[in-house]
Amino acid sequence: MTLRTVPGKRGDIIAKKATVIVVTNQKGGVGKSTTCENLGIGLAMEGKKVLLVDTDPQGSLTISMGWQQPDELPTTLSTLMQKAMNDQPIQPGEGILHHAEGVDLIPANIELAGLEVALVNSMNREKMLKQVLESAKREYDYILLDCMPSLGMLTINALAAADTTLIPVQAQYLSAKGLEQLLQTVGKVRRQINPKLKIEGILLTMTDSRTNYGKQIDTLIRQAYGSKIKVFDQTIPRSVRAAETSAAGKSIFQHDPKGKVAEAYQSLAREVLVDAEKRLKRSSERAR
């Protein structure tokens, strides 16, 4: 979380400004929605105010959080982005759903696919999502964006709105190979649209430390990227219980609280918070 000074009548008031983290990888099945949900709830358990945003027309995050019929929801991200495109005001809290585990959600459904097509001809098309999130940034500590498995206009919008990007990578050779393309896209967005965009880190998911192959991939990714990009110490183990959570509409903390995956996501949340503290300290030292 970053802090900014807002001038007030009685001296200066410090206002919150959320850190926006985009969870992205153009490869499907690497655990993006699972990570977005459980990291978000993990941060909420650490006392942070968290908003999750589903930017995938398939609505995977929305469904896995218990809204099983996203197409029947009256207000979704598509509604809000349409308003931004038409220069209409978005009311505070509009379209936000409250989850029983202490996080909020802006849901998505298939309407978002049509909106992505409409975005192409829109002025300032890369920044529509950023506009939608502008007022919410003052209300939350963290905003986590779950992306669709592609590098299309919605993913570009998410990267344009983000402070950092967290990249889940399945501990497999092909998944690691696709990382290059994503890193090129992040670099391009940084150069052309969002110069402040940083990489939060690479998160190894569905790991199996019992096999030699699993250990080799872990080592391979750390050696290939670890010198330039943070690779999280915490990895997310493969687990049948974790795979069941999307059907249950609950996080891993509710579904299997004593399991190794719940422990891993809690540890990841703490690692993200420690990194945020370090960044805050560095930027305040630079400001002196």
pLDDT grade for 173, boundaries at 50, 70 and 90: low
pLDDT for the residue numbered 15: 53
Say if 287 falls within a structural domain: no
The more confident residue out of 93 and 210 is 93
Domain that holds residue 19: 2-6+15-282
Highest mean pLDDT among 5-19, 24-38, 58-72: 58-72
User: How many domains is the chain partitioned into structurally?
Assistant: 1
Say if 44 falls within a structural domain: yes
CA distances from 272 to 1, 97, 180, 268 (A): 11, 24, 23, 6
pLDDT for the residue numbered 64: 92
pLDDT grade for 3, boundaries at 50, 70 and 90: very low
Say if 112 falls within a structural domain: yes
pLDDT for the residue numbered 167: 94
Secondary structure letter of residue 148 according to DSSP: P
pLDDT for the residue numbered 194: 96
Helix (H, G, I), strand (E, B) or coil at 25: coil
pLDDT grade for 249, boundaries at 50, 70 and 90: confident
- For the cut 80, the answer to whether the pLDDT of residue 247 exceeds it is no
| 200-205 average pLDDT score | 93
From CA 72, how far away is CA 66, in angstroms rounded? 13
CATH number at residue 67: 3.40.50.300
Q: What is the pLDDT of residues 85-124, one digit of tens each?
A: 999 999 989 999 999 999 999 999 999 999 988 888 888 8
Say if 257 falls within a structural domain: yes
E-strand stretches of 97-162: 97-98, 104-106, 142-146
The Cα angle at residue 249 between residues 175 and 107, in degrees rounded to 5:
75
Say if 288 falls within a structural domain: no
